[in-house]
Structure 1
Amino acid sequence: MKRSVLPARSAAAEPWAADRSKLMIGKSFATGSDSRVYRGIYGRQAVAVKMIRAPERDDDKRRALEEQFNAEVTLLWRLRHPNVVQLVAAYREPPVYCVITEYMSRGTLRAYLHAREPYSLPPETVVRLALDVARGMEYIHAQGVVHRDLKSLNLLLDDGVRAKVADLGTSCLESHCGDKCSRMGTYRWMAPEMIGDKRCTRKVDVYSFGVVLWELTTGLLPFEDLSPVQAAYAVCVGNARPPISPSCPPAINSLIERCWSAKPAKRPEFSHIVSVLEIYDRCLRQGLPLLPQPLPSPLADFFKLRPFRKMMLLLSSFKV
């Protein structure tokens, strides 16, 4: 481990600003196109340190990376949930931007599933991990946020193999997402309306969750025989989906198919998904069979919303 060589700030303007004298950086364990992730210690806490270097000669990309950094740390700082990766601190020293999060020792869900191939997970583990993800996403949606890049690579596992939602760098407030999705996600998990650059709502995350749930039942990479672009074309033009596993309980397969429906309005809310998975979890613990659960009516979903969101939906229904 080496201590951060960047000077500590005397006064932090942002609540998430790191005290760099507390940061020790170890070995790198992951890399991206513009970033590298290191193990580290912040104070006495084990952390993951993501260092992002913006290209100095590409102004557009530099601005985009800075905007993504600002959006991610501002959002993560106010999110506090057992199934959302916690931001510990962050700092910017252009062209370097640093995001410090809790360390998730078991890595990504994708790596966990890949290590088990060709064996799939037992239904009890499928439901438990799916419930972790659904609870995290229910909380994120309750804050009015759309993730836009939910996938097994952005789901991390802790020592107890509990799943947490990570990497909200491409997320947005649903009220600010605009009329077009701008293809912010990853093709293999991307909803058809995102691929088609149509209006983006929180239901794009439900579609992606359906693909993640399929991964949990099969252990496989979605559309592994296709390139990402071919997968996007198959979904958007041919309404293709990964093949359902015949060995998976029909009730879970039914939930997958509801989540990745081509029509966003037919996809359930995460509050309903959590309720269904909690029923399945109890059934599996008691040795009872799993039965498909009915979808609630749109009115039932409406009354589950927080009062502010109810008011906004009512106001938006009136035309001036």
Structure 2
Amino acid sequence: MTTSDGLPSAPRGVYLSRSQSACVVQWDVPKTPNGTIIKYTIYLTAMWIDAPPGAQAVEYSQENFNPYTRMGTFPLRFLTPNSWYKFNMTASTYAGQGEFSSYTASTSTCEVPPGKPITPSPPAMPQAADVIKHNGYPITLSQVSERTGPVECYHVLVVELKDEMSLRTMPNVDQLKVVSQQEAASSGNNVTAYVAMAFNRDDFVEDVFLGDGRKTSCAGTGRRKREQSVEDIYDEVYTNSPLKPGTRYTVVHRVYGSKPQDGSQPLYSSSGYSLPIMTAPSPGNNWMLILIILCSAVIVLIILTVLILLIRRRKQRPPRHVREDISDVEGFSDTPFISDQTGLRMQEVTRTADVADGDPTSTRHHGEHHGSKPTIMENYRPLPLKIMAISDRDLTWDDISLTSRLLGTGNFGEVRKGTVNLDGERLPSAIKVLKRGADEAARQDFQQEVDIMRHVGYHPYIINLLGTCDHQGQQYMALEMAGNGDLKKYLRTSRVLETTSAAYGNTRQTAGTVSTLSPVQLLRIACDVATGMEHLSSKDVIHRDLAARNVLLTDSLIAKVADFGLSRGDGIYEQTSKRAVPFRSTALEALSKRIYTTQSDVWSFGILLWEIVTLGGTPYSGMKSGLLLRRLREGYRMPKQRNCDEDLYQMMLQCWQRRPEDRPTFSDLVEQLKNMMEDKSSYVNIENDDDFEYEIIDSDDNDDIDDGDDAFTG
């Protein structure tokens, strides 16, 4: 800087011109430079063409233009579409920035033509199963901003997902081949879409029913289609024909800009694919319904007759000790929701009996490699039918036999392996023992867990209560045994190809698959848990501690919801006691307001899904409770894992919705998981590749219960 430098006056003769591809600004030097001009700064003001009331202009600047050429070039492709620009500028010396010039003349503006419409959001799918009909279902569309240009046409594209089609194998939405509905129906396994609905900006409707049979057009409801030789998306009339019963569909929302006057292809943007939805099965004809009712009545009469004969026969002879499969009971199946095409659970689980130390119930917990010959477990022992009917009986001390093997510690004491005598039959059992000298609060909690399990009753996907005993002031609770232990440990054990390391962390595979559990087995475990939670929800029971560590696996890999120590049977619960909270798996409203509902358990189920996909990873790895609560309030959610399908991740995100009422119900989750299992696609990829890394397991993984932060105790 020189002592003679001062601030320059404004540049003169600012002139704007426009070529086919750019706007060019030129100017003359200031009348009074007051020193050496070192740079010019151009200020751009962009205004939305045909802007709605209240729209704000966008202002920004670019500097360091050559002080000798005195010209600035602005290519149209770098400017905001559907805008007009005006310019002014300043000159700078070493002393600083000088005065502003006047704007370019209003008769000379840089107008940028409309561009591609803003990308719309995917159509929102229904959350409740009862609104999905055999011929269609409701969806919600979103109108887009016209900032980049006028929007003249909205299309709803429907794609039928046939056979093994999944979203992972679908083409890019902008490359979808759009045909008539008749052509789409006869396209075989080719991916084609048809237009079900069309709206212009004035007739746009957010909530519509896919398959309602109505006719729509972007020309509007009051205009007739023009006679023309070439199909015109702006004037074509489309029919929203009924969908096929029992068929999977996905939907795309496509938005078109202004109709080109030169006959060229219009600009458009497409949303992503919506979550697939399967329409309900065909309701059938009335005569078929009547026939089914008559046949059912006959079957009921036969069953009643057989039961009466069996009861009379039993009274005439001593009781028999029966061991019958759960699948013999109407309504309970060992392979829920699985068609014959996907195989039976017991045929896919490859486990062998391992009789150790004379214990006939012990089994190996190590999975066979995929591809080995399936075997059915010889030592699988479901509860006898008579135990199902009466699972809340009082036991005597002689009915209980405890071993020295410690299975774990609970909220009230310890859990030991043992057996119980029920109607003359010894059954393996996990026996909770209330610690001696327990205070009154612990006794009340112990009794509350018993009361809740009695209220819940028998169900194949929860750990069932066999009975209770009070002996010399010591309380015992006999529970159904699950030979493969808790799900979290089992998932981590399935990482058999993991490189051995002294500390947990990301470790690389060397070959094969990343887990001994198959994708179908992982989904079935999730479906088992959702089914058990659906039953708890129907009984107005809130679990409050649903996590992989509180799900137990039987020898045949049936998942059962366990540990009702924090459960409440009130439908809605407000925590007022000073008690630690499992912060990693607890819903946002429960962490911040201490309000629990069944929908809080749905949030926890989403975390459990994440644990299943990551094979036992630590949720929110490395985060402490205070930071986690703040991040969740800001909208943070765990990202999608690379081995997780988009549909399954969307299910997690639905479980983690901020508002509890926006989350799916457990019935919805069971239905969606059922559909996924019937689909032959792999929703959890367990194939190894060079870049795969296991999700981190924190070294302080046992801090799931945070008892050191006042924000998480009430």
Shorter-chain TM-score category? 0.7 to 0.9
Q: Which amino acid aligns with 1:257?
A: L
Between the aligned partners of 1:89 and 1:280, the Cα distance in structure 2 is 37
Between the aligned partners of 2:411 and 2:597, the Cα distance in structure 1 is 28
- Paired residue for 1:83? 461
SS at structure 2 position matched to 1:125? helix
Pair 1:20–1:179, CA change in 2 (3 A):
closer
Please, which of 471, 478, 484 is the counterpart of residue 106 of structure 1? 484
- Deviation at 1:185? 4.3
Between the aligned partners of 1:112 and 1:46, the Cα distance in structure 2 is 20
Between the aligned partners of 1:125 and 1:231, the Cα distance in structure 2 is 34
- Paired residue for 1:157? 553
- Paired residue for 1:51? 433
Q: Which amino acid aligns with 1:225?
A: G
Is residue 106–residue 158 contact of structure 1 (8 Å, CA) maintained in 2? yes
- Paired residue for 1:294? none
Q: Which amino acid aligns with 1:161?
A: L
Please, which of 217, 224, 243 is the counterpart of residue 621 of structure 2? 224
1:242 aligned to 2:619? Answer: no
SS at structure 2 position matched to 1:42? strand
Q: Which amino acid aligns with 2:469?
A: Y
Q: Which amino acid aligns with 2:660?
A: P
SS at structure 2 position matched to 1:131? helix
Render the CA deviation track for 1:60-118: whole Å, top value 9, x for unaligned.
Answer: xx222112111111121242110010111123458643221011100000110121235
SS at structure 1 position matched to 2:596? coil
Instruction: Output aligned runs, 1:77-156, within 5 Å.
Output: 77-78=454-455, 79-92=457-470, 96-117=474-495, 118=498, 119=514, 121-156=517-552
Between the aligned partners of 1:149 and 1:15, the Cα distance in structure 2 is 23
Please, which of 410, 414, 429 is the counterpart of residue 36 of structure 1? 414
Hey, which of these two has a bigger chunk of helix by percent? 1
1:272 aligned to 2:668? Answer: yes
Pair 1:210–1:113, CA change in 2 (3 A):
same
- Deviation at 1:216? 0.7
Is residue 215–residue 222 contact of structure 1 (8 Å, CA) maintained in 2? yes
SS at structure 1 position matched to 2:600? helix
Instruction: Output aligned runs, 1:190-209, within 5 Å.
Output: 190-209=586-605
Pair 1:215–1:231, CA change in 2 (3 A):
farther
Between the aligned partners of 1:188 and 1:95, the Cα distance in structure 2 is 36
Q: Which amino acid aligns with 2:540?
A: G
Task: Provide the TM-score with structure 1 as the length reference.
Answer: 0.76
Hey, which of these two has a bigger chunk of strand by percent? 2
- Deviation at 1:261? 1.5
The answer to which of 234-243 and 128-137 deviates more is 234-243
Task: Provide the TM-score with structure 2 as the length reference.
Answer: 0.36
- Deviation at 1:168? 1.1
Pair 1:289–1:162, CA change in 2 (3 A):
closer
Please, which of 7, 16, 19 is the counterpart of residue 393 of structure 2? 16
- Deviation at 1:163? 0.3
User: Which is higher, the Rg of structure 1 or of structure 2?
Assistant: 2
Identity %: 27
SS at structure 2 position matched to 1:268? coil
> Which of structures 1 and 2 has the larger relative contact order (alpha carbons within 8 angstroms, sep 6+)?
1
SS at structure 1 position matched to 2:394? coil
- Deviation at 1:182? 7.3
Pair 1:15–1:280, CA change in 2 (3 A):
closer
- Paired residue for 1:11? none
- Deviation at 1:278? 0.6
Render the CA deviation track for 1:150-170: whole Å, top value 9, x for unaligned.
Answer: 111110000001100011121
Is residue 18–residue 90 contact of structure 1 (8 Å, CA) maintained in 2? yes
Is residue 195–residue 236 contact of structure 1 (8 Å, CA) maintained in 2? no
Pair 1:124–1:20, CA change in 2 (3 A):
same
Which structure 2 residue ranges, 5 or more long, are not aligned?
Answer: 1-357, 359-390, 499-513, 684-714
Between the aligned partners of 1:239 and 1:95, the Cα distance in structure 2 is 50
The answer to which of 113-122 and 133-142 deviates more is 113-122
Render the CA deviation track for 1:97-148: whole Å, top value 9, x for unaligned.
Answer: 3221011100000110121235355431221111000000000100111111
Between the aligned partners of 2:414 and 2:576, the Cα distance in structure 1 is 30
Aligned pairs, how many? Answer: 269
Pair 1:17–1:235, CA change in 2 (3 A):
farther
Between the aligned partners of 1:170 and 1:92, the Cα distance in structure 2 is 22
1:65 aligned to 2:442? Answer: yes
Q: Which amino acid aligns with 2:679?
A: C
Which structure 1 residue ranges, 5 or more long, are not aligned?
Answer: 2-13, 57-61, 291-320
Between the aligned partners of 1:32 and 1:197, the Cα distance in structure 2 is 26
Pair 1:182–1:240, CA change in 2 (3 A):
farther
Is residue 183–residue 197 contact of structure 1 (8 Å, CA) maintained in 2? no
Pair 1:237–1:92, CA change in 2 (3 A):
farther
Is residue 108–residue 153 contact of structure 1 (8 Å, CA) maintained in 2? yes
- Deviation at 1:33? 6.2
- Deviation at 1:22? 1.6
Is residue 452–residue 568 contact of structure 2 (8 Å, CA) maintained in 1? no
- Deviation at 1:247? 1.7
- Deviation at 1:187? 1.0
SS at structure 1 position matched to 2:679? helix
RMSD: 2.6
